Amino acid sequence: MTEPLLQVEGLTTLIGNGAQPVRVVDDLDLSLHSGETFALLGESGCGKSMTALTLMRLLPPSGRITAGSVRLGDTELLSLTEARMRRVRGGRLAMIFQEPQTSLNPVLTIGEQIAEAVRIHQGRSRDQVTARVVELLRAVGIPDPVQRVGEYPHQLSGGMKQRVMIAMALAGDPRLLIADEPTTALDVTIQAQVLRLLKDLQRETGMAVLLITHDLGVVAESADRLAVMYAGQIVETAAVADFFARPAHPYSRKLMESLPSAEKRAGRLAVIPGRVPPLDRVFQGCRFADRCQSVMDVCRDTEPLWWPVEGERGVRCHLWDPALGLAGESTKPLGEKPASAAPSPRIREDADSLLLRAQDLKVHFPIQRGLLRRVVGHVRAVDGVSLDLRAGRTLALVGESGCGKTTAGKGLLQLIAPTDGSVRYLGEELMGLSHRRMRPFRKDLQIIFQDPFASMNPRMLVGDVIGEGLQALRIEPRHAPRMRRVADLLELVGMDPEAADRYPHEFSGGQRQRLCIARALAVEPRIIVCDEPTSALDVSVQAQILNLLKDLQERLGLAYLFITHDISVVAYLAHEVAVMYLGRVVERGRVDEVLDDPRHPYTRALLSAVPVVDIDQRRRVIRLEGDMPSPSHPPAGCHFHPRCPDVIEVCRHAYPQETRLGETRQVHCHRVTGG
């Protein structure tokens, strides 16, 4: 075998004071070869991103590398001066950071930002630099690159910004590219484009990629080898095919069991109790022992050694210690019943009764220009959506970012004033009601926002945040009874009642999402709009939230409008699904009907782009060229026709009428005929 491009041995990184430092990376070993994609996965707080920053030598001021070796080719990176490291960083070694919006300078054009990297690492003349910038933008698939050179980051979509970050990283012709969660906030269609782009660039240049992610589907479809990281240590390495066929470490298996899917609909998802331990403590035994269902006495007293298994696979676990003879135990189930063995959810007697009906809902935002702020057009964010929400059932609303999902949810709750249409709750028309007349309905109509931290006042205690609705709606105006109710709510969502006396910043992302669920439940609603409640969560925390939502629906008969772009969550949780594109629903039906037999070309493209772990369930990816058109200037005819692989002439001139394929199935497509 050829020498590895990157060889890391015994790497240790500390952050903080000398008395009790945080060991964010602890005795880490890994290697990458040219042209290989190596994935580093694990929960938030395990040290994945700090590993990347350590390799780049971009640690915060309190960070320091205390041991180890990092060799890139023949160069020992840890022995370089900062001046020499700058020539390597962005050149032979480059990085795509997790959030492109915060990584790009908002006051410089994208052309200027890419040109800076070209000048530093390639030393070209001004004319050559401009030509190289255009060449890089074209290489990463950005349309009309000559015009884009002069645009600013805010003028680009999320997928475009991620492509610009890739172009900047490629400016120095790197041999190794570190990609830190490059697709976390992207839609599945844009995610597929970015991953395909990285693969194409690897084939052309022989570049190696270190992919940092917690998305197991992305790993299964993109990586060659992987390492599982937990509490600053690597606990398992394997070829991707071997890992998904038989994960060896108990932590790896629990991550796999936490994944939602249609097959697990009847039961609960496996969860990992507790959370990643703080890394400023001194560990005596296995770091996963407190959360492991296979824990033994030796796990708490003795740190496990690294055991080679077969081929390139290795595991840090006592179950693989030959002296204990327990290797066979490492592949047995961890003690929980499989999801299929669980009883079907019980729905309350009033389940399936119609609670809310929206008909031809429209939300248009005026475009104003000039000194007199004249209205020169409208952004048609929601352009004629009809939905029904029933007790004890979940309607999933899916589609790309910018299609109007969140605006539709807020329009249903009258958090944004709809432009036209009808929204009737229990027969009462909500459209046009004043704030005062709408107030009695607020109790029954609640929302869980996408970003839990941004939706809570950081200066308020959690108890006051949760109890605010009880006070505002005069449900429980007295403080003592209100706090007792808050304590009950915290227990309901699996939190310690003492959390009421802490501030939002003191909690993890999953815990903050539980607090937002408690706030929504405080006023005993009948309908909850869930806006991407699991989009930024690890699979283990996501499983906890999905189990909680499912339990609450079963117990209270709640109706959910679940806004998401995660199809696996839809398959597990939803009863019905509506697919939205550019302000309109293009297909709707029962979840099994739509996911198993998509009829609209956009639905087929959306589902084909979803990365899945099971190779037998993968579809051929349908490539959608370009981005979604602007809702201020929707195309004539079918809105999807500029990107549709099945377009015919009538699509360019007339919007398709609704075609009913059964009692529960509707599609808007000229190529689909009724059954």
The arithmetic mean of pLDDT across residues 324-347, rounded, is 48
Give the residue extent of every domain in the chain.
105-171, 250-308+319-341, 354-444+525-581
CA 633, chain centre distance (Å):
29
Contact of 669 with 599, CB cutoff 8 Å: yes
pLDDT digits (tens, 9 = 90+) for 54-110: 999 999 899 999 999 999 999 999 999 999 998 899 889 999 887 777 788 999 999
Q: What is the structure's pLDDT at 177?
A: 93
Q: What is the structure's pLDDT at 448?
A: 92
Question: Which is higher by pLDDT, 401 or 330?
Answer: 401
Report whether pLDDT(221) > 80: yes
The arithmetic mean of pLDDT across residues 185-193, rounded, is 76
Report whether pLDDT(351) > 60: no
Report whether pLDDT(368) > 50: yes
CA angle (398, 406, 495) in 5-degree steps: 90
Q: What is the structure's pLDDT at 675?
A: 57
Q: What is the structure's pLDDT at 415?
A: 94
Q: What is the structure's pLDDT at 185?
A: 62
pLDDT digits (tens, 9 = 90+) for 579-600: 999 999 999 999 999 999 999 9
pLDDT digits (tens, 9 = 90+) for 407-452: 999 999 999 999 999 999 999 999 999 999 999 899 999 999 888 8
Q: What is the structure's pLDDT at 332?
A: 53
CA 368/CA 291 separation, integer angstroms: 56
Q: Of the candidates 307, 328, 310, which has an alpha carbon nearest to the alpha carbon of residue 318? A: 307
Q: What is the structure's pLDDT at 339?
A: 40
Q: What is the structure's pLDDT at 343?
A: 34
> 634: which residues sit within 8 A by CB, 6+ positions away?
380, 383, 582, 583
Q: Which long-range contacts (CB under 8 A, 24 or more apart) does 281-286 make?
A: 283/231, 286/317, 286/318
pLDDT digits (tens, 9 = 90+) for 5-44: 999 999 999 998 877 899 999 999 999 999 999 999 988 8
The arithmetic mean of pLDDT across residues 510-521, rounded, is 87
Q: What is the structure's pLDDT at 369?
A: 87
Q: What is the structure's pLDDT at 372?
A: 83
Q: What is the structure's pLDDT at 348?
A: 45
Report whether pLDDT(190) > 90: no
Q: What percent of the chain has a predicted confidence (pLDDT) above 90? A: 53
- Grade residue 536 by pLDDT with cuts at 50, 70 and 90: low
Q: Which residues pair with 667 in a beta bridge?
A: 587, 659
Report the run of H or E that residue 647 belongs to, with start and end: none
User: Which of 180-189, 331-340, 341-350, 646-655 has the least mean pLDDT?
Assistant: 341-350
Q: What is the structure's pLDDT at 618?
A: 74
Q: How many CA atoms lie within 13 A of 223 on its CB side?
A: 32
Report whether pLDDT(197) > 50: yes
Q: What is the structure's pLDDT at 25?
A: 94
Name the token pair of 667. Answer: 């599609």
pLDDT mean across residues, the chain: 88
Q: What is the structure's pLDDT at 73?
A: 92
Give me the residue label for tokens 């919006």.
101
pLDDT digits (tens, 9 = 90+) for 104-147: 899 999 999 999 888 887 767 777 888 899 988 888 878 788 88
Q: What is the structure's pLDDT at 340?
A: 36
Question: Which is higher by pLDDT, 183 or 68?
Answer: 68
SS3 473: coil
Question: Which is higher by pLDDT, 493 or 658?
Answer: 658
pLDDT digits (tens, 9 = 90+) for 265-304: 888 898 888 878 888 888 989 999 999 989 999 999 999 9
Q: What is the structure's pLDDT at 193?
A: 78
- Grade residue 387 by pLDDT with cuts at 50, 70 and 90: very high
Q: How many CA atoms lie within 13 A of 53 on its CB side?
A: 18
Question: Which is higher by pLDDT, 491 or 483?
Answer: 483
CA 453/CA 126 separation, integer angstroms: 45
- Grade residue 388 by pLDDT with cuts at 50, 70 and 90: very high
**What would the CATH number be for the domain defined by 354-444+525-581?**
3.40.50.300
pLDDT digits (tens, 9 = 90+) for 305-319: 999 988 789 999 999
Got the DSSP string for 183-244?
TTTS-HHHHHHHHHHHHHHHHHH--EEEEEES-HHHHHHH-SEEEEEETTEEEEEEEHHHHH
